[in-house]
Structure 1
Amino acid sequence: MEFRYLGNSGLKISSITYGNWLTHGSQVENDVAAQCVRAALDAGITTFDTADVYANGKAETVLGEALKGERRESLEIFTKVYWPTGPAGHNDVGLSRKHIAESINASLKRLQTDYVDLYQAHRFDTETPLEETMQAFARVIRQGKALYIGVSEWTAEQIRAGHALATELGIQLISSQPQYSMLWRVIEDEVVPTSRELGVSQIVWSPIAQGVLTGKYKPGQAPPAGSRATDEKGGADMIKRFMNDDVLTRVQALEPIAAELDLTMAQLAVAWVLSNDNVAAALVGASRPEQVHENVKASGVSLDASVLAKIDEALGDVVVRDAGMTTRTSPQKRPA
């Protein structure tokens, strides 16, 4: 396993980070989830990412149970706050001081730990002053409940403003967690250059484009039974932007590139995001332990310029690059 520094900090994390969005507490049974976590630990993964909103707290609970008994100092545990949780009352959402203070306590209880290594703003809150949010995060850090803070799906401008306030308050904003894959490159023009300047790393989600980059979805064919594209609990909705024959045909052209490198298409996809020097880790999930063992083989794989050029040529114009997509896909007001 390769380990990388997270932002301009002394914290190292595993370049393959285990994430339990859309799986723990919803798609897979708890015993299978525990097996996946054990597989991650056995493969050398030390970093685990979750959020309070995943399965309305159940994902944190499952992860906490699965990690019970492990040496806490040998792990890096990340969680997030923003989306509605609990009964979804009027203050059970957003990045207000109240919601952050209550959410961190609930997350720590579910995760069965005294602190998280990274506490992340799951989206930008347009209805709370940024000063209030950063002061609330600073309080969490000073209470010893989190060591560092990060953000998820913030624009370059929002990251810059949040980083400036964090610096004034004497705390470290060291990470950004955006969607990033061969097919979705909206962070490259603005978020990545700004992050490099500020000492912020990317922890990227969906590096395999919700499974599309595995090649299992074929143009002109129905999705395989039991795949994410058939999951009505949320998976199908997330993957639908890629489920058209033009994209799927282009993805099939990646197969010979992966074969030439003796990689699976999934391993190629993960290695590709890790080839960006601003990416500290690729988030991978799993519904079966064997998926973890396959994905970790991408750690440490080096892709030279000629391979990257072949990938670009194969995918052509189906790649989404518009930096404005971060704003357009984020909530413009707090969700009810």
Structure 2
Amino acid sequence: EIFTKVYWPTGPGGKNDTGLSRKHIMESINGSLTRLQTDYVDLYQAHRYDTETPLEETMQAFADVVRQGKALYIGVSEWTADQIRAGHPLAKDLGIQLISSQPQYSMLWRVIEGEVVPACEELGISQIVWSPIAQGVLTGKYQPGQAPPAGSRATDDKGGADMIKRWMDDDLLTRVQKLRPLADEAGLTMAQLAVAWVLQNPNVASALVGASRPEQVEDNVAAAGKKLDADLMKAIDDVLGDAVIDDPSMTEKTAPKTRVV
């Protein structure tokens, strides 16, 4: 299956080269299909919520993309529960299916649990979560008080370091190291424990993992189907404690307030 998304700037950088306007959606799907060398994608997702375009316009454009056979289904990414609740009936009225939400979710970042997941369960929408290993922090490779390993995300000055800096705290990294014996006891690597943890949530359909080497993909895939018992889940909570971020308002707080050009 092939997924792609639309929202962030593409093209020469004009006012209409970003967001979820009809113009940007139509131009973006055509550009994506050309680059992917395919006739359609299985899932076309709104990468963020566009505060500057009427939601009706966005959903009508998505409906037209589906009717043109350029996408089979639509989804959203990092939308709040209220935004999902507003978009779902519009899609239904247009005869298309909004089937998925793609939020950040991990042992450390649980902001979807309070509002987004309950809304999606009610509407028949599943989660395709990203960053289940918290940009690599939950692999345990970052040690408290030590410089990040050479070539790791934390040393990437092209954006990776900015994404991971939230977690580069010695107290948090110390807590993460205390997960290692729990992973060992479960017969899992640290990365497998992290991926298996997000998959315990029944509303999570799949987890998106990044990899720079084939063996990392193989390691992560091995987490599929692993059942973590209640005692292990509680032990993880006890170790991480107040390092966990679970405030539902963080979805909105971390979203762009205006289109990024």
TM-score, normalised via structure 1 length: 0.77
| In structure 2, distance between residues paired with 1:198 and 1:158 | 13
| In structure 2, distance between residues paired with 1:202 and 1:226 | 31
The one-letter code of the counterpart of 2:163 is: M
Secondary structure of residue in 1 paired with 2:2 = strand
Pairing partner for 2:215 from 290, 296, 299: 290
| In structure 1, distance between residues paired with 2:216 and 2:100 | 26
Name 1:191's counterpart in structure 2.
Answer: 116
Query: Please, what is the CA RMSD of the aligned residues?
Result: 0.5
Name 1:278's counterpart in structure 2.
Answer: 203
The one-letter code of the counterpart of 1:131 is: E
Name 1:169's counterpart in structure 2.
Answer: 94
| In structure 2, distance between residues paired with 1:139 and 1:269 | 38
Name 2:8's counterpart in structure 1.
Answer: 83
1:147-195 Cα deviation digits (max 9, x unpaired): 0000000000000000010011110000000000000000000000000
The one-letter code of the counterpart of 1:298 is: A
Q: Identical aligned pairs, as a percentage?
A: 78
Matches within 5 A, 1:123-142: 123-142=48-67
| In structure 1, distance between residues paired with 2:165 and 2:246 | 18
Are 2:172 and 1:212 equivalent residues in the alignment? no
1:214-260 Cα deviation digits (max 9, x unpaired): 00001111111110000011110000000001110110110000000
1:280-319 Cα deviation digits (max 9, x unpaired): 0000111111111111100110111111001000101100
| In structure 1, distance between residues paired with 2:211 and 2:12 | 28
Name 2:238's counterpart in structure 1.
Answer: 313
- Give ranges in structure 1 of 5+ residues lacking alignment: 1-75
Question: Shift of residue 86 of structure 1?
Answer: 2.0
Moved over 2 A (4+): none
Are 2:224 and 1:323 equivalent residues in the alignment? no
Pairing partner for 1:144 from 56, 69, 86: 69
- Give ranges in structure 2 of 5+ residues lacking alignment: none
Name 1:60's counterpart in structure 2.
Answer: none
Name 1:250's counterpart in structure 2.
Answer: 175
Name 1:61's counterpart in structure 2.
Answer: none
| In structure 1, distance between residues paired with 2:237 and 2:32 | 41
TM-score, normalised via structure 2 length: 0.99
